[in-house]
Structure 1
């Protein structure tokens, strides 16, 4: 079976046209011989054909008019011409100076109109030599050197044809061929080259072309597919041997720019070569090579079904691809809604892929000395080597290792992570990642690909990390103590991370617990986090020791419920800080009192209490309490209790002993971003001013 998409497979349209012209010539000679000037003052011939059906084309509403004997005029009009899936309307050919004799039919001055398209045309049909030469010069003649020349020779049962294009305008060809509304629109192009067709009887046996396309520009109606100043070189050869078509092709792209949503490419000498066969309903690409300047080369092969345009089998292999260019041109555009959209990459990558039976069969990704750097400094990896093999029906072992990395400026040490792949599942039984002076243990990591996307789960443990070192790398005020904890089962599905149970960690000689943690779209540019957080028996001395805010001794419990972060910025929470139950030393420094007074307002303490501030460095207290309900950018503040019966003000610190000092706040609504800025300035200067 021959390829169905070659709708002209059984006959050549130029040959059919030549045969039709020959029969018209014979008919006109017979007509001219039977008619004389005595019988007709102006000889006139008019042939109307309602339908002409042929395997190669169909013609509707056609007419042929031939008038005059000494200076005959030929007019041909076609209401509709169908060839394959292409359709033309209102085709008109007029030849004012047509020569007709026993050896040839020639037109030296003709016009061809197709809709709004118009061009001059000349042709010569030699019946003696069985040859047709046709030239088309489009109107208006902006390019005087433009020429489209078709030559057809046929001898006995064989024929050959060639279309030569000299400085051809691509816009003329685009207007000549029917286009759908959503198809690419050609705005400009310059074509030079030849297209050869050979055949026997009514079939094609060979096709070849050498064509250069220069200054090509195109776009679609949406603006998502655009090309500018593109130069292409096309070399194609197709030959038929019995029932098999052998073909080879080569496309070179030396210049130009293409934006094909979401990708952008520039022509820098990219080249595609391929060869194969077409047999029956299948096209076999036996050998192909794609060479991308700045990236590298990839070898590939494929088998596809022509009727349903389905890929049945494919293989691709590439070695030492330059990851920096590959990442910028292909990977990053596909991940524009994730953190990878702002990541720079360098290194080499090897890829091997196999597709068969409508499914991926195997994939191997081999990264060599790769570095990944987030431009917003959220993460970075250096010296990354990874061998990740995957087979649909086989369990395989791989390895990921890196020399160093950092997350939110926190350094990670040299790490080796063994991996196992089995079908659509990836396992990491156990891995340890050094973090500062501690380490993170990851266990039972299982990832699988489901119909809804990737899913994974894990659990682990964080061994003690120095808070002083951690805050140093986070570039925030120093804190003391250690951070450690147990990580319960965490899972990921539908772009959402959820935590089962409680995440417990040791912090500031107390305990921190996170519950109901849900993180949506963690790799996007706007991650969304909700959780409930509680801290129990936190040592205020450790917490406040390094701050200019002042020293407070004691223990507090903190609850933050309904915490909601968008892009890691809080937009909602209900927070409450209260003194922990129990017997412990409760002291507050003069500096801390001043800052709390500033937080509470000018009238936070009485005049008598203010006078004591300069006389004592420390004061006793019974209880400390503060609350904040954040809604958007507003913090609705509260304290231990109301300061008066009419609920004006709230108590922040309840004093004890002599002198007793009680601090009352009166600002019930505070702009949260502004409060953070002023607190930051207060910590730096040691003298906050908060209204």
Structure 2
């Protein structure tokens, strides 16, 4: 290729000598000379079909060059025209100090000088008053050098070198300054170097998914060819500016990428590199890329003591939108060791140091987490995790430590006990795996006895007494839904409670959706009412709450029924409880008279208690002891119902009158009644 270029330049040189002989130096005669070159080839550029039209007359020499095509690497320009009104031609030099270049529909002022021996080309293009692109090209036998100096290069010219795709961000502003050097021998490039700075860069795409403002970038890179391989290294610094690259947002604050490697046989090899991220730490990586197949080869990445708070907020959280992690703050240190090969992750080892996670909505928090989490695609490995403390829904968790095993598709824990107040949760046979549809897990276990008094104390609700304990059946999670296989049985208020048909949709989402049925049998009313200002009741009750539906922990639907348990036991109700139950069912003139007459008695006997609420939306359809469905009374609000059927001396019967009740108002007034000890519920 170089020989072709040298031959063609020799022809051009001979033609120029002939011009000097043929063109008259002065006088009024006009001479014209036209000739054509088919091609000029060079490792940096390639030019095809050049037609020179030289005119010499009294006004001086004028040159016009029509260029069919110019190619610089993958960029091609066609149908260019160079005009020079003040053309200078000597035996040693061709010069044009005031030329115009027509390219891509634009006319740009240019100057050039071409020396014949030694061969040297100086070409300057000035698209604007403060913008210039200056190319210096030297030949000395078979050795050549080229330098491109850029001063305030405009974004319009830079944009021409970027992919013209509607999905690729397009430049709106920016300027380029710096120097690009290249050198070689004959048709080969031996070395190149670039020292460039981009200022005030702005870009965006049509979809609004990628954008940048006031971005400043500095690049210092160089490469040398040795035999068949290119050895290269470079540093890219981002001092300032903002970039949004869906879903991530970053601000330039001195981030720096230093990278070096080789390029051979269409394979890009990164031998050593370091990405310094402000506020996070330094990440080292190496690997290979198949440029032809656009495939990643073997890649390794290591980092130590990354600052988890910044890493979590800038990189992890944007990937966890619509989950609880999107509203979680983190702190601590993280080590990473990752290996990727043949299209898959081969190993990933994480080390957590003094990590804390806190949900900003107050749903959970853990502190003092130290863990080693090793994972390998072709073998099992043992990991461990330690927790200093934590809480879930304000329920405190104690210190714990466990060992687990990882395998190709997940991990497993044989036994794990999480302390909760004076009891705990014993998790058994926990199995977590990654399936095609997402993460899945299952476990079973036990609820170790927890004091209800302590539990209600930390929840800051009215104190309850007794212990909460039970058996946890098989729990499973898949496709964002947690289900319970069997029934959850636990002891409460000296009775037994059973939860069944549990379905928990998106438990870590922004609006968790819970479905279940609950039954409570032989509950001690004395334990249940003892701590409340509602009034004391003695006896036993059974409760069935079916079709429970909670959205974001707020009830939107259920069908609840409370009745006296069968059997023989003491049945008494206090004066305060009578008053509250009476107002719960709705006051009437008769109830006022009855309470006034019986106010001299401390408590009363009763035969049976019954209450029913079918909630749909925000309306509770009320009922009492009668067996009829409260839905039958939805439009008959005048029909009363019995809440307490009296028995013995003195005896009292409590009747309700309101069939339709606003649920939120009912709960609001009931809470006020319990807190104040003087409820007014209608």
TM-score (structure 2 length as normaliser): 0.90
Matched, 1:121 2:110: yes
Give the whole-Å Cα distance in 2 for the aligned partners of 1:557 and 1:20.
Answer: 105
Is the CA contact (8 Å cut-off) linking 1:117 and 1:175 kept in structure 2?
A: no
Aligned residue number for residue 470 of structure 2: 485
State the Cα deviation string for residues 268-306 of structure 1 (Å, max 9, x = none).
Answer: 222111111111021111111112222112221101111
The 1:387–1:681 alpha-carbon spacing in structure 2 relative to 1, beyond 3 Å, is same
Matched, 1:596 2:581: yes
**Partner of residue 408 from structure 1, selected from 393, 396, 399:** 393
| 1:72 CA drift (Å) | 4.4
Matched, 1:190 2:175: yes
| Equivalent residues in 2 for 1:307-318, closer than 5 Å | 307-318=292-303
**Partner of residue 558 from structure 1, selected from 525, 543, 553:** 543
Give the whole-Å Cα distance in 2 for the aligned partners of 1:681 and 1:341.
Answer: 35
**Partner of residue 669 from structure 1, selected from 635, 660, 668:** 660
Give the whole-Å Cα distance in 2 for the aligned partners of 1:59 and 1:594.
Answer: 102
- SS of the residue aligned with 1:572? strand
What is the aligned residue count?
A: 673
**Partner of residue 686 from structure 1, selected from 674, 677, 680:** 677
Give the whole-Å Cα distance in 2 for the aligned partners of 1:370 and 1:483.
Answer: 31
Structure 1 range deviating more: 516-525 or 643-652 = 643-652
The 1:173–1:91 alpha-carbon spacing in structure 2 relative to 1, beyond 3 Å, is farther
| 1:175 CA drift (Å) | 4.8
| 1:48 CA drift (Å) | 11
Aligned residue number for residue 277 of structure 2: 292
Give the whole-Å Cα distance in 1 for the aligned partners of 2:63 and 2:620.
Answer: 90
| 1:471 CA drift (Å) | 0.9
| 1:649 CA drift (Å) | 3.0
Aligned residue number for residue 56 of structure 2: 69
| Equivalent residues in 2 for 1:178-217, closer than 5 Å | 179-217=164-202
- SS of the residue aligned with 1:611? helix
**Partner of residue 465 from structure 1, selected from 439, 442, 450:** 450
The 1:74–1:557 alpha-carbon spacing in structure 2 relative to 1, beyond 3 Å, is farther
Aligned residue number for residue 343 of structure 1: 328
Give the whole-Å Cα distance in 1 for the aligned partners of 2:336 and 2:19.
Answer: 73
| Equivalent residues in 2 for 1:130-529, closer than 5 Å | 130-139=119-128, 141=129, 144=130, 146-175=131-160, 179-529=164-514
| 1:604 CA drift (Å) | 8.2
Give the whole-Å Cα distance in 2 for the aligned partners of 1:312 and 1:587.
Answer: 79
Is the CA contact (8 Å cut-off) linking 1:445 and 1:457 kept in structure 2?
A: yes
The 1:664–1:55 alpha-carbon spacing in structure 2 relative to 1, beyond 3 Å, is farther
| Equivalent residues in 2 for 1:22-33, closer than 5 Å | none
Matched, 1:106 2:95: yes
The 1:597–1:86 alpha-carbon spacing in structure 2 relative to 1, beyond 3 Å, is farther
State the Cα deviation string for residues 241-281 of structure 1 (Å, max 9, x = none).
Answer: 11111111111222222222222222222211111111102
Q: Give unmatched runs, 5+ long, in structure 1.
A: 1-9
Is the CA contact (8 Å cut-off) linking 1:206 and 1:240 kept in structure 2?
A: yes
Is the CA contact (8 Å cut-off) linking 1:578 and 1:624 kept in structure 2?
A: yes
Give the whole-Å Cα distance in 1 for the aligned partners of 2:649 and 2:672.
Answer: 32
Give the alignment's Cα RMSD to 1 decimal: 3.2
Is the CA contact (8 Å cut-off) linking 1:604 and 1:666 kept in structure 2?
A: no
Give the whole-Å Cα distance in 2 for the aligned partners of 1:83 and 1:311.
Answer: 28
- SS of the residue aligned with 2:321? coil
State the Cα deviation string for residues 108-132 of structure 1 (Å, max 9, x = none).
Answer: 1223344465532111122222111
The 1:374–1:592 alpha-carbon spacing in structure 2 relative to 1, beyond 3 Å, is same
State the Cα deviation string for residues 142-177 of structure 1 (Å, max 9, x = none).
Answer: xx3x32211111122221101112233344422565
Is the CA contact (8 Å cut-off) linking 1:489 and 1:501 kept in structure 2?
A: yes
Is the CA contact (8 Å cut-off) linking 1:274 and 1:285 kept in structure 2?
A: yes
- SS of the residue aligned with 2:126? strand
| 1:579 CA drift (Å) | 1.9
| 1:99 CA drift (Å) | 2.8
Is the CA contact (8 Å cut-off) linking 2:75 and 2:161 kept in structure 1?
A: no
- SS of the residue aligned with 1:385? strand
Is the CA contact (8 Å cut-off) linking 1:496 and 1:518 kept in structure 2?
A: yes
| 1:349 CA drift (Å) | 1.4
TM-score (structure 1 length as normaliser): 0.89
- SS of the residue aligned with 1:308? coil
